[in-house]
Structure 1
Amino acid sequence: MTSKVRQAILPISRFKRYFTPSHNSIICTKTLKTYIEAETEVSNVHLTPEISLHLVTPNTPTWYSDGKDSKLFEPFYAFYWPGGQGLSRFILDNSDLIKNKNVLDIGSGCGASSIASIMSKASFVTANDINREAMVILDMNCKLNFIDSDAIKKVTSNLINAHTEYFPYDIVLIGDMFYDESIAKELIGWMDKLSKEGKEIYLGDPQRNDILSSLDGRLSIKATYNLPENVRKENNGLMTTKVWKFE
């Protein structure tokens, strides 16, 4: 069953998602948390059942909303997108890659990959998403998983194209951000610079399109995951999601 609100926001450019200020920026955090609690449910029915998350699901009113009658405006952050699921699963399954590393989670959304990094004993984790709501739901999801929210630095400024000379991260995580060509172009140029500086870059993506095919020779596949049945239904029949390392 495909969500109306997912169908409404999927055509929205991820460039817009990542570079447009939050619609709910004037709502106080306490009220926003109340909205999120009312419009989501706590779920672990996904690729990382060890992580509980506040999500929009078929059991919640926002699932059936066209977005206009929901208190959550374009709630990208309240869905656990397949690319993020695969990336988070990979982190948990390969914790030695993350342990004692400084990690940056770009377009962090619900915060699952940041939480997975903390669970994998990263030294330092930064969640980066320009939507304030994403930082609020991350706080809530940390609480669900008995993680000190202060263990994850939260940054709402755009870190894509951040200067690499003073870049304090060893690993960059990018989950389900290759949705359209505009943001992909920004990301690819930046990833190239980071790679030349010796940074490790991991991508999670279900390949809805052929954008990543332009990176043949730069990507090495690290994992392929079969999506659970409910996730397939929620994502128009997508069967798998993959994790690559950009080199």
Structure 2
Amino acid sequence: MTVPAGFFAEHTRLVRTPLVPEVVLHLADDVAALWQAMEDAAGVGEVPGPGEASPFWAAAWIGGQGLARYVLDHPDLVAGRTVLDLGAGSGLVAVAAALAGADRVLASDVDPYALAVIPLNAAANGVRGVEPVGDVLDDDWGGPRLSTVDVVLAGDVFYDLRMADRVRPWLFTGWVRGAIVLVGDPGRSQLPEALVEVAGYDVADSGVDPARRTTVWRLP
């Protein structure tokens, strides 16, 4: 499934995120208009419609911003290591890990738009080694994609029950196998209780809304 050529140039612009100004991303000013553009493209059979691919990648979620900020402030966590950004969306956290010195970054998402925009965002920030990959939640931790992962970064992945039920045991399995696991979360009710808080940030969620709190957690 191919995203139409020029889609991101037409419907997004490069923006610096409030908490992580070091990183620029292709984001949408009007997500509703972007969604319509996705529907129009799907109507001619080029890409899946929003029922299959929602534009989560077109905004910098504050859970991801907090996690990216923490990684940039603590580069020793990822420097020289293989990192997996789970639910990568725009690739904000993946780019931050690369900027912090990660040797290799796997940016996992199920959305073809996200997988297409992540390389553009990596290039816009002058980083290499960011590799878009699809869904990894059914992969074996001993398999070829996950066996070399040293650090898992998961920004705002507990946003609904179905997703939380998939992610929770997968993260714990990775941790048991020796991976460092960090989660950025803005207070979702599905967040596991076993996590330990390592940092908290107030993030401006939009130009008019008050700042929201986002927290970085680590499996102990």
User: Residue 42 of structure 1 aligns to which amino acid in structure 2?
Assistant: L
Matched, 1:108 2:85: no
More strand by proportion, 1 or 2?
Answer: 2
Paired position in structure 2 for 1:54: 26
Cα pair 2:60 2:90 within 8 Å, conserved: yes
Which ranges of structure 1 fall in alignment gaps of 5 or more residues? Answer: 1-24
Matched, 1:79 2:59: yes
Matched, 1:139 2:122: no
Paired position in structure 2 for 1:14: none
CA distance in 2, matches of 1:179, 1:203: 12
1:77-120 CA distances to partner (integer Å, 9 max, x unpaired)? Answer: 11111111111111101101111111011111101111111111
Paired position in structure 1 for 2:189: 210
Which ranges of structure 2 fall in alignment gaps of 5 or more residues? Answer: 42-49
Cα pair 1:109 1:129 within 8 Å, conserved: yes
Paired position in structure 1 for 2:218: 245
CA distance in 1, matches of 2:105, 2:170: 19
CA distance in 1, matches of 2:177, 2:95: 26
Paired position in structure 1 for 2:140: 163
CA distance in 2, matches of 1:64, 1:154: 25
Matched, 1:96 2:72: no
CA distance in 1, matches of 2:96, 2:23: 8
Identity within the alignment, %: 28
Question: 1:199/1:45 Cα in 2 relative to 1: closer, same or farther (>3 Å)?
Answer: closer
Cα pair 1:46 1:231 within 8 Å, conserved: no
Question: 1:69/1:126 Cα in 2 relative to 1: closer, same or farther (>3 Å)?
Answer: closer
User: Residue 190 of structure 2 aligns to which amino acid in structure 1?
Assistant: I
Tell me the SS of whatever aligns to 1:68.
helix
1:154-188 CA distances to partner (integer Å, 9 max, x unpaired)? Answer: 212x2014212242111111111110011101111
1:223-244 CA distances to partner (integer Å, 9 max, x unpaired)? Answer: 10111263673xxx56111100
CA distance in 1, matches of 2:100, 2:112: 25
Q: Give the count of matched residue pairs.
A: 205
Task: State TM-score, norm by structure 1.
Answer: 0.76
More helix by proportion, 1 or 2?
Answer: 1
Shift of 1:63: 3.3
Matched, 1:222 2:198: yes
CA distance in 2, matches of 1:45, 1:77: 13
Task: State TM-score, norm by structure 2.
Answer: 0.85
Paired position in structure 1 for 2:131: 153
**Greater RCO, CA 8 A, separation 6+:** 1
**What is the Cα-based RMSD across aligned positions, in Å?**
2.0
Question: 1:27/1:188 Cα in 2 relative to 1: closer, same or farther (>3 Å)?
Answer: closer
